[in-house]
A and B are shown apart, each in its own frame.
Chain A
């Protein structure tokens, strides 16, 4: 291994892991209420009343951390021409056939899609979550929509997170370490994010 280059700043890693932990907590405590058959999960997190009281706060901190990431990354997450080609050939990417797939910038098109999916569902989770949080205050019509919207968005984002989790731990070696240590090897940067590599490497 040779010189490492910085991929994620300290602030980026803090916001990512804050949102990840809060998301996991919110997801598991949410699942506890998802079905009476999963209610036993609430026992793992301190009982039903605790779950009911803390889940919204975890969701709130999650939203703030995601908001920080959104502010920082939204500009870099715009899809360009190469990304369109990338998406059209994503089935080849999945099979590790890299020939003909355009090089990516700091984030590849798949990561960009994940970013927009998670941002959108987080926005609606927050909105609907606030409504379910205060049933005595929120109007009935809003509650009737929210109790449907919240689990729909939660399912979408949890499904997305399963993919995200798989990609970042098992499918793409080096990705997890980038988010933990903040750095990647030059070789990794060149092969996974060629355009970005040339920008930061200055050659």
Chain B
């Protein structure tokens, strides 16, 4: 039986910025307490970190002179076509589970940081102490045991929903339709078609401008990464083998130069 692809739906219009999901994530994943950095906003800290995998971004937005926040939950998107996996040189350091979760296995990670460059969403964070990368695992341990990820379990507003991806795509379009009824004509779903679809889906009020939420407009695996891990491999391998073969054939056909060691004349 095919395993269902699981997903998380984030309806940003329902997020009240309570940060309960941040706390739940820290607790379940047993993160050490670190002091946040205060940068004059309501955000817990400016960015993700090796021990902070889920950040509610308070994006400030002005519409007709009215200030508001465009809340966006920032974490790994669990891409179907994952740039981190494409870039990673260490077998088994990043695995894609049959249910679609992309999980980092720190035991196999060598800390090269290639995944950081390969990720279109700038998610993995390298720990300066352990020299390993960390990010949201979509609570693969909980999901494996039939439970809901900690952030979703704790969300008080139904902003977060967990389930099969197919169901959540449907739910997302229902929510979008409701938002449009309420007058948010630009409402839509953000699901990263450029990376084969993400398993974290967003409902956005301003879907044509995801940058306002800190989300890349058209996320794709960077072309230099694709070129590096694709055609370059084959061109370079062929060139190596060709050169070595050429040297061998040269020796067999022409042999070495004469020695001229004697000093006649």
Contact = CB atoms under 8 A, between A and B. Distances in A.
Nearest to A165: B247
B91 A188 contact: no
Contacts of A124: none
A194 to B, nearest CB: 11
Contacts of B64: none
- Please tell me the size bucket of the interface on B: 35 or more
A166 interface: yes
A189 B262 CA distance: 11
Interface string B227-243: 11000110010011001
A117 B255 CA distance: 25
B14 interface: no
A95 B249 CA distance: 12
Contacts of B225: 144, 147
A152 B228 CA distance: 9
B256 interface: yes
A152 B224 CA distance: 12
A151 B128 contact: no
Contacts of B239: 155, 159
Nearest to A95: B254
B256 A173 contact: yes
A132 interface: yes
Given A96-B257, A171-B257, A166 B251 contact: yes
Interface in B76-114: 87-91, 108, 110-114
Given A49-B111, A171-B256, A162 B263 contact: no
Contacts of B259: 173-174, 187-188
Interface string A48-66: 1101110000000000000
Interface of A: 1-3, 32-36, 39, 42, 48-49, 51-53, 94-96, 132, 135-136, 140, 143-145, 147-148, 151-152, 155, 158-159, 162-163, 166, 170-174, 185-188, 190-192
